[in-house]
Structure 1
Amino acid sequence: MAKKPLVPIFIIMTAPFLTGAVVLMSVLYGSEDLTIEVVRNTLFHYNSGNVNHAIIMTSRLPRVLAALIVGAFLAISGTLMQGMTRNYLASPSIMGVSDGSAFVITLCMVIVPNLSALQMIGFSMTGSALGAGLVFGFGSLLRNGLSPVRLAIIGTVIGTFLNSISAAIASYFQVSQNISFWYNARLHQIDLDTLRLAIPAGILGLLFALSISKSITILSLGDEVSTNLGQRTRLVKTMAMLAVVLLTGTSIALVGKIGFVGLIIPHISRYLVGIDYKWTIPCAGIIGGVFLALCDLISRFINYPFETPIGVVTSLIGVPFFLYLIRTKGGKQFV
């Protein structure tokens, strides 16, 4: 049931304050805590010779920006996938999109190393399309294969297979250390060139997502209803998957694989906003960005002063949530 736009408007209006707060906390706190005065001097009187200034500008600020961007991209991708397939369990990490991207990047590290940031993003997007194509392709071949639980199982099997092949290739060609970045989501190793390219690529994906938001709302009611209303369902699904490939491929190229963001956040967004995707998509992006930035902040203190991979934090939240969805809604589609 769609809700009045009061809640989404509130979320959008408070987004700058939420984002500013999480950015400030991420810049201040880490293995070495900094002060507000140091941050102010860095922003207005930057000195490249000052170690604290360099930490802020080359590490902590790019890191939190990447977390905000990737969280938003993955959340919007999951929202599109769940709305398009009417599947409560759909997300980039479960439906093979992330695994396909990491698999192709592994091949590239062996066959064509020293890729530019632009080439890395392009190959990552190609891998995202490959992973999604395999999962939905196999799902369409099996009886009732596109049902929520079966599609999740197929996605898990395909993802595990791709991960195993990637691990074998990385081990045989002795590039495991280079590949580990894309499987452990090391936000502190952000490549600034990739970050700069991720923004326009992501904006293009966001424009695709927003342009079909009304169509996704109708599609989430079912293919039959959508067709009766004169909607070209195949075209809408193609555009939605293109947006997912752009957003997820860019995210993987930027920080590596991060699970469960695209599963959890769409549910939170729909609960707060309703199923009008004109509001659900942007709100999911805001909540997803803040969520991942907070997870990154938490990961710094679980084993202080050492850092815990952010994937551990998202899994601690995501696995119970995933099991809850399987128990309560796993065999159902949207109603």
Structure 2
Amino acid sequence: MFLFLIASMMVSLVIGAVSIPLQTFIDAWLNFDKSNQLHQVLMNVRLPRILGAAIVGTSLAISGALMQGITQNPLADSGLLGINAGAGLGLAVMFAFFPDTSYRFILVACFMGAAISVGVIYLITSSNKQVMTSLRLTLAGAGISALFIAASQAIALQFNLSQDITFWSIGGISAISWSQLRLITPFFLLALLLAIINSPAITILRFGDDTAISLGKKPQRTRIVASIIVLVLSGLSVAVVGSISFVGLIVPHVLRYFVGENYRYLIPLSGLGGALLVVWADLIARSVNPPFETPFGIITALIGIPFFLYLSRKGGLRL
């Protein structure tokens, strides 16, 4: 799968509104020429865009796998549960009140918005020592998502930000730069490492809290750590491309047919699968009607909505 991802990224590099020979990319990589327009397009536009797409796809797919693991809910996804909407609200607040702020603070605002969403969902779905159920989590996430999206739209209308918020809400990756990648990559790598380290504990959760405790694990701590990883990955994804749903829903389910419920394999493979999905969605989005672009959030939604309905009919909302 890793080799297929590399091949897909190479295809995405040379195909677009203007097709560029692979040899040109090799020349640009080995002997970059600032005066060569094709070299500029490859190294400063397409390459960071493709790397950003891979990071976002990996982040969203791992977030979905983690959410499904800690809640035992096959419909869990950072987009469906309102975490992306919370990060989007943080983004809207920054656009409205701090329009000239740096990307660093936009990223922090997205993290804070995602954290607020996670905290509110936990408060709603947990009472006393009762652990959240799948149905309560899904309903709470839907309500929080609707509330935060409405708040973002209200801010957009009040401050005349409709065009900016719309771009982010439907997803767009065309403007990503090397400076943004340098900022988000450390957060991404740290969250990815923590997800892999905690994957055995996530696997044990499917057997119940009592079993996990008997094996020396701490279920609640596992859920808290996983939730922090999810809010970091979701926050950086929204900061890069806006609110994209369904990637975290689709990819882990497909890969479960091959690796089952062992999260030591499911998490890294979900990362690769999510990167593949978003890289190809981005390629399709900019190839449908060149030189204009279709936001790739629409592409993932067209794939994800039928998949969501299929899971619902198969009994996805389990108590």
TM-score (norm. length: structure 1): 0.89
1:167 aligns with 2:158: no
What residue in structure 2 maps to residue 131 of structure 1?
Answer: 117
- Counterpart secondary structure, 1:329: coil
What residue in structure 2 maps to residue 153 of structure 1?
Answer: 139
Give 2:19's match in structure 1, choosing from 26, 33, 52. Answer: 33
What residue in structure 2 maps to residue 93 of structure 1?
Answer: 79
Conservation of the 8 A alpha-carbon contact between 1:95 and 1:151: yes
Per the TM alignment, residue 122 of structure 1 is displaced from its structure 2 partner at its CA by 1.6
- Amino acid paired to 1:200: P
What residue in structure 2 maps to residue 283 of structure 1?
Answer: 269
1:120 aligns with 2:106: yes
Per the TM alignment, residue 145 of structure 1 is displaced from its structure 2 partner at its CA by 10
What residue in structure 2 maps to residue 209 of structure 1?
Answer: 195
Per the TM alignment, residue 320 of structure 1 is displaced from its structure 2 partner at its CA by 0.6
What residue in structure 2 maps to residue 46 of structure 1?
Answer: 32
Give 1:58's match in structure 2, choosing from 38, 41, 44. Answer: 44
**CA distance in 1 between partners of 2:201 and 2:132 (Å):** 20
Percent identity for Structure 1 against Structure 2: 37
Per the TM alignment, residue 247 of structure 1 is displaced from its structure 2 partner at its CA by 1.1
Conservation of the 8 A alpha-carbon contact between 2:71 and 2:133: no
Give 2:163's match in structure 1, choosing from 170, 177, 191. Answer: 177
What residue in structure 1 maps to residue 301 of structure 2?
Answer: 315
- Amino acid paired to 2:43: M
**CA distance in 1 between partners of 2:99 and 2:207 (Å):** 45
Unaligned runs of 5+ in 1: 1-10
Give 1:75's match in structure 2, choosing from 27, 44, 61. Answer: 61
Per the TM alignment, residue 302 of structure 1 is displaced from its structure 2 partner at its CA by 2.8
**CA distance in 2 between partners of 1:234 and 1:147 (Å):** 14
What residue in structure 2 maps to residue 3 of structure 1?
Answer: none
**CA distance in 2 between partners of 1:323 and 1:139 (Å):** 24
- Superposed, which structure 2 residues align to 1:242-257 within 5 Å? 242-257=228-243
Conservation of the 8 A alpha-carbon contact between 2:49 and 2:177: no
Aligned residues: 318
What residue in structure 1 maps to residue 227 of structure 2?
Answer: 241
Which shifted more, 238-247 or 172-181?
A: 172-181
Conservation of the 8 A alpha-carbon contact between 1:194 and 1:253: no
Per the TM alignment, residue 197 of structure 1 is displaced from its structure 2 partner at its CA by 1.2
Per the TM alignment, residue 127 of structure 1 is displaced from its structure 2 partner at its CA by 0.9
Unaligned runs of 5+ in 2: none
Give 2:289's match in structure 1, choosing from 282, 295, 303. Answer: 303
**CA distance in 2 between partners of 1:191 and 1:150 (Å):** 40
- Counterpart secondary structure, 1:199: helix
- Amino acid paired to 2:45: S
Per the TM alignment, residue 150 of structure 1 is displaced from its structure 2 partner at its CA by 4.3
- Counterpart secondary structure, 2:126: helix
Deviation per CA, 1:261-282: give whole Å up to 9, x if none.
0111111222211211111111
Deviation per CA, 1:18-72: give whole Å up to 9, x if none.
1221111111111111112222221122221222111111111111101111100
What residue in structure 2 maps to residue 293 of structure 1?
Answer: 279
Per the TM alignment, residue 83 of structure 1 is displaced from its structure 2 partner at its CA by 0.4
Give 1:110's match in structure 2, choosing from 76, 84, 96. Answer: 96
Query: Superposition RMSD on alpha carbons, in Å?
Result: 1.9
Conservation of the 8 A alpha-carbon contact between 2:255 and 2:266: yes
- Amino acid paired to 1:211: I
Per the TM alignment, residue 204 of structure 1 is displaced from its structure 2 partner at its CA by 1.0
Deviation per CA, 1:274-331: give whole Å up to 9, x if none.
2111111111111111111011111123334421110111011100110111110223
What residue in structure 1 maps to residue 210 of structure 2?
Answer: 224
